[in-house]
Amino acid sequence: MQRVAYAQDKCVDSSLLVASLISLFEYRQLDINQLLSGSGIFEQDLTKLNHKISPIQLSQLIDNALAIWPGDDLAFLLGQQWLPSQSGSLTNGLLCSGNLRQMQNFWQRFYWLTQPWLQGSHWHTDKQQHLIFQLDIGLFRQRQFYIELALSSLVSSYKRLANTPWQGAFYLPFAEPKHIDQYQKYLGKHLSFNQPLCVLSYDQALNDVPFTIADQHGFALAQRQAEQLQQQAQYTIGLPALIRNMLTQESKQQYTLPDIADLLSLSPATLKRRLKPFNISFQQLQDQANLHNAIYLLAVTGETNLQVAQQLKFADSNNFRRSFKRWTGLLPSQFRCWLS
């Protein structure tokens, strides 16, 4: 059973991203008090065993960090440091992975142990693998920071484990930033902005390239340890991600807000209040789930507009086309070969 974290719940391990941020700011001789201002986090907290902070505290910390940091590379630098600076079973599992397929499956299963701000899923065609990233406990206004952090850490980890440059394309759900040079430096030149979803795409063959320090026994041990930690964890998913999962996986059911509230043993009004601190509404999550399912059906399985409309319970294909245009600014036909 998934254990749901709300915005005020202490669910984020402060010995990971928070500690890395402070170390980086100390190295650059930047004001730590200013970094922590208003967050309710204190330096002495980081010495406490299993100290946790809430998504609201994390959000204030990230806002402070982005305001103070003298440049546009903060998330990328943190991503480069992520694998070597973390500890525990999740890092051990990644380091011992035999190949990219095993690494990304392991991360996707246990991401909440160290990177709970983004949720991952995957699609595949005959030749291409696609990793999709959406917010979990991260706030929408900080989406770009979390995406930069996650993609930088993934590419950096792959380069270290495979001992070869990354080969893949990035579809990013925001306008091309002024600091495009940072994207090219840390992610490469296969970049496409203003896309409806955050997607990392690469050839299926890349999945099976052997990693240089693979350790089958070490991976099995790390997996058992991660499973045990996840079973003991107080929280295993954030409220926005849980709702999006329910709406995505049960697209034929077409859950309403009262339906979801009832499943979570909440009133509709309470559910709305629980979502508000995440800066997201139920309607936005429903649109995200419908868009996710629509693009999968159009670009991966090759369904027609009428088939997609029927599966997603739209009144007709015209109604679906109008909704798709509202979500993306484009017509469904322009996505039919998007990820092929």
Q: Which two tokens stand for residue 316?
A: 């007709």
Centre a 10 Å sphere on the Cβ of residue 81 and count the other Cβ atoms it contains: 16
Contact status, residue 256 vs residue 247, Cβ threshold 8 Å? no
Q: What angle is formed at CA 290 by the lines to CA 311 and CA 302, rounded to 5 degrees?
A: 55
Q: What are phi and psi of 210, to 5 degrees?
A: -65, 140
pLDDT at 300: 86
- The parent domain of residue 268 ranges over 237-335
133 occurs within a structural domain: no
Instruction: Supply the pTM of this predicted model.
Output: 0.93
CA atoms of 300 and 292, how far apart (whole Å): 11
Are residues 36 and 91 both part of a single domain?
yes
Comparing CA positions, the residue from 65, 110, 73, 59 lying closest to residue 89 is: 110
CA distance 331 to 325: 5
For every residue of 211-272, DSSP letters joined together read: PTT--HHHHHHHHHHHHHHHHH-S--EEHHHHHHHHHHHTTTT---HHHHHHHTT--HHHHH
If the chain, 340 residues long, is cut into consecutive pieces of 10 residues, what is the mean pLDDT of each piece? Answer: 90 89 94 96 85 95 97 94 73 91 91 89 89 92 95 91 92 94 95 94 93 93 93 94 89 82 95 95 94 91 90 90 90 76
- DSSP secondary structure string, 157-208? HHHHHHSS----EEE-SSPPPTTHHHHHHHT-S-EE-S-SSEEEEEEGGGGG
- Decide which of 182, 217, 232 is a domain's last residue: 232
Q: Is 301 inside any structural domain?
A: yes
Q: CA 25 to CA 43: how far, in whole Å?
A: 12
Q: For residue 131, give Cα distances in angstroms to 128, 136, 272, 284.
A: 10, 15, 29, 21
Q: What is the pLDDT of residue 144?
A: 96
- Write down which residue in 215, 232, 249 finishes a domain: 232
- Would 177 be classed as within a structural domain? no
If you search the block for the tokens 């929280």, which residue do you land on? 235
* 278 and 297 assigned to the same domain: yes
Is 193 within the bounds of a domain? Answer: no
Would you tell me the crossing angle of helices 100-110 and 143-162 to the nearest 10 degrees?
140
| Domain shared by 222 and 273, yes or no | no
Residues 156 and 214 in one domain: yes
CA–CA gap between residue 13 and residue 114 (Å, rounded): 7
- Residues 88, 58 within the same domain: yes
Question: What 8-state DSSP symbol labels residue 338?
Answer: T
Q: Are residues 213 and 73 in the same domain?
A: yes
Question: Is 171 among the domain residues?
Answer: no
Q: Would you say residue 198 lies in a domain?
A: no
Pair (16, 34) in one structural domain: yes
Q: Do 190 and 168 contact (CB within 8 A), yes or no?
A: yes
Q: The domain spanning residue 250 has which CATH number?
A: 1.10.10.60
How many domains is the chain partitioned into structurally?
A: 2
Q: How many helices (H) and strands (E) in the chain? A: 15, 9
Q: Tell me, what's the pLDDT at 70?
A: 95
- Please check whether residues 213 and 322 belong to one and the same domain: no
Q: Report pLDDT for 63.
A: 97
> Which residue, 144, 132, 254, is CA-closest to 193?
144
Residues 223 and 256 in one domain: no
Residue 88 belongs to a domain: yes
- Asked if 167 and 204 count as a contact pair (C-beta separation under 8 A), the reply is no
Is 24 within a domain? Answer: yes
Contact 126, 118 (CB under 8 A): no
Q: Are residues 217 and 97 in the same domain?
A: yes
Which of 232, 249, 284 is the last residue in one of the domains?
232
Strands 169-171 and 128-135 turn out to be unpaired
Q: Mark whether 146 and 272 lie in a shared domain.
A: no
146 shares a domain with 8: yes
10 Å Cβ neighbour count for 163? 11
What's the pLDDT at 2? Answer: 80
Closest of 124, 145, 89, 138 to residue 201, by C-alpha: 124
